[in-house]
């Protein structure tokens, strides 16, 4: 059976990194990041100061191969399928990958790390099909929807702070990269993401929609206001990605407005939080061409295709009555509408 360890606030980052190493040694990860060399191509976009990263990780394809996962002991071959909780809205009848009881039944090698974020109980589990070293999925203990609320943003900030900024925290809204929208979750990694180097005032030149907020003053309130107004403007179609990371020694929130009608691209398929942050992980045979041809134009093409066509700051204001008057350092919402 899998196990659960708990970590106090000040040692959370250390505990997560230690458990990650243990999970690699236990054979729970598809590959051991300390033993594998990932072919990587970085392409620098001078205009915005961002080095887009393309990585070739074909071994990740095993994540969809049930037999191989069972043979490696990542998935319990003797799991009792009748015990597994399934959300009735899941059209494919999949069990919830993020419910604690399902994880314990399916992944005997997995060690979960317990933590409290804003007074709510969460668990972190190493992502066996990791994208970056120290990649965990963090989910509340109760089964609840992957819906954006102020709690999501504040829990992300709490998690970032509890790890002293070592871990970047990502949120993929439904239809914006979340593969299971029925159970709330975040992705966390220790590696810097390309967009962290985005030069000041260059948000409008970034190929997809993004706004950056520092935590100084009311930055979190303004980030939340933008996110909420974007979503409220078209609850059926709109979604978002969020990233909390430290930039220039200050925690920052990146808000990426998304639209479910532009969730995928021809080249890359589903585009989630890592991609919109400039990190392209390629693993399928059809994606090998992207890796081989990686350049700034390719990164811009992929990200341009998921940029919501109706995204402008003024649209956000027009959709909702009232307007925000404080535009701050990183102006997020125009006052002209
Ligand atoms: Zn669940």
- In angstroms, what is the span from residue 3 Cα to ligand 1's centroid? 17
Helix (H, G, I), strand (E, B) or coil at 204: helix
* Separation of first and last alpha carbons in the chain: 57
pLDDT at 313: 67
- In angstroms, what is the span from residue 103 Cα to ligand 1's centroid? 9
The rounded distance, in Å, linking the Cα atoms of 31 and 95 is 24
- In angstroms, what is the span from residue 228 Cα to ligand 1's centroid? 24
- In angstroms, what is the span from residue 84 Cα to ligand 1's centroid? 10
- In angstroms, what is the span from residue 100 Cα to ligand 1's centroid? 7
- In angstroms, what is the span from residue 139 Cα to ligand 1's centroid? 9
The CA-atom distances, in angstroms, between 111 and each of 20, 37, 63, 328 are 9, 25, 18, 43
The rounded distance, in Å, linking the Cα atoms of 208 and 223 is 17
Decide: 138 and 188 in contact? Cβ < 8 Å: yes
- In angstroms, what is the span from residue 158 Cα to ligand 1's centroid? 22
- In angstroms, what is the span from residue 98 Cα to ligand 1's centroid? 5
- In angstroms, what is the span from residue 60 Cα to ligand 1's centroid? 23
State which H helix or E strand residue 315 sits in: helix 313-319
- In angstroms, what is the span from residue 28 Cα to ligand 1's centroid? 21
pTM: 0.91
Q: Which of 217, 202, 311 is nearest to 256 (CA)?
A: 311
- List residues, by chain if needed, whose CB lies under 5 Å from ion ligand 1: 96, 98-99, 143, 183
- In angstroms, what is the span from residue 144 Cα to ligand 1's centroid? 7
- In angstroms, what is the span from residue 188 Cα to ligand 1's centroid? 18
**φ, ψ dihedrals at 287, nearest 5°:** -90, -10
Decide: 136 and 192 in contact? Cβ < 8 Å: no
- In angstroms, what is the span from residue 328 Cα to ligand 1's centroid? 39
State which H helix or E strand residue 186 sits in: strand 186-189
Encoding tokens for residue 129?
């099909």
Decide: 53 and 279 in contact? Cβ < 8 Å: yes
The rounded distance, in Å, linking the Cα atoms of 99 and 303 is 32
- The per-type count for the chain, helices as H runs and strands as E runs, is 9, 14
- In angstroms, what is the span from residue 205 Cα to ligand 1's centroid? 38
Q: What DSSP character marks residue 216?
A: S
Helix (H, G, I), strand (E, B) or coil at 84: coil
- In angstroms, what is the span from residue 181 Cα to ligand 1's centroid? 9
Mean pLDDT score across all residues of the chain: 90
Residues of the chain with pLDDT under 50: 318-337
- In angstroms, what is the span from residue 94 Cα to ligand 1's centroid? 11
Q: Which of 171, 156, 174 is nearest to 115 (CA)?
A: 156
Quote the Cα angle for 100-188-285, to 5°.
95
- In angstroms, what is the span from residue 67 Cα to ligand 1's centroid? 23
Q: Which of 234, 293, 302, 235 is nearest to 264 (CA)?
A: 302
pLDDT at 176: 87
Ordered DSSP codes for 283-301 = -SGGGHHHHHT--HHHHHH
Residue 246: exposure state from Cβ atoms within 10 A (0-12, 13-18, ≥19): middle
The predicted-structure confidence for 260-271, as pLDDT tens digits, reads as follows: 999 989 888 889
- In angstroms, what is the span from residue 69 Cα to ligand 1's centroid? 21
Mind listing the domains of the chain with CATH numbers?
A: 3-319 (3.30.428.70)
- In angstroms, what is the span from residue 263 Cα to ligand 1's centroid? 23
Decide: 289 and 282 in contact? Cβ < 8 Å: no
Partnered with residue 140 across adjacent β-strands are: 122
- In angstroms, what is the span from residue 95 Cα to ligand 1's centroid? 8
Q: Which of 238, 211, 236 is nearest to 226 (CA)?
A: 211
- In angstroms, what is the span from residue 183 Cα to ligand 1's centroid? 5
The rounded distance, in Å, linking the Cα atoms of 328 and 61 is 44
């Amino acid at each position: 059976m899998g196990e659960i360890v708990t970590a106090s606030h000040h040692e959370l980052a250390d505990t997560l990194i230690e458990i990650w190493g243990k999970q690699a040694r236990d054979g729970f990860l598809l590959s051991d990041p300390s033993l594998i060399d990932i072919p990587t191509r970085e392409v620098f976009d001078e205009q915005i100061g961002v080095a887009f990263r393309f990585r070739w990780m074909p071994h990740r394809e095993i994540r969809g191969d049930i037999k191989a996962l069972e043979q490696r002991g990542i998935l319990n071959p003797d799991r009792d399928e009748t015990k597994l909780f399934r959300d009735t809205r899941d059209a494919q009848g999949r069990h919830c990958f993020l419910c604690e009881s399902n994880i314990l039944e399916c992944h005997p090698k997995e060690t979960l790390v317990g933590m409290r974020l804003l007074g709510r109980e969460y668990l972190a589990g190493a992502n066996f099909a990791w994208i970056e070293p120290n990649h965990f999925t963090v989910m509340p203990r109760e089964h609840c929807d992957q819906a954006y609320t102020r709690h999501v943003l504040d829990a992300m900030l709490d998690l970032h702070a509890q790890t002293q900024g070592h871990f970047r925290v990502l949120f993929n809204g439904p239809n914006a990269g979340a593969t299971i929208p029925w159970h709330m979750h975040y992705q966390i990694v220790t590696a810097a993401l390309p967009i962290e180097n985005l030069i000041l005032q260059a948000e409008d030149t970034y190929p997809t929609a993004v706004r950056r907020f520092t935590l100084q003053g009311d930055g979190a309130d303004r980030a939340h206001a933008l996110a909420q107004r974007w979503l409220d403007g078209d609850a059926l179609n709109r979604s978002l990605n969020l990233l909390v990371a430290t930039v220039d020694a200050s925690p920052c929130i990146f808000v990426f407005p998304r639209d479910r009608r532009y969730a995928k691209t021809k080249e890359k398929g589903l585009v989630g939080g890592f991609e919109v942050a400039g990190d392209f992980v390629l693993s399928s045979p059809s994606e090998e061409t992207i890796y081989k041809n990686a350049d700034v134009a390719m990164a811009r093409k992929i990200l341009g295709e998921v940029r919501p066509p109706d995204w402008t700051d003024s649209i956000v204001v027009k959709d909702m009555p009232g307007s925000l008057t404080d535009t701050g350092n990183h102006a997020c919402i125009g006052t002209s509408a």
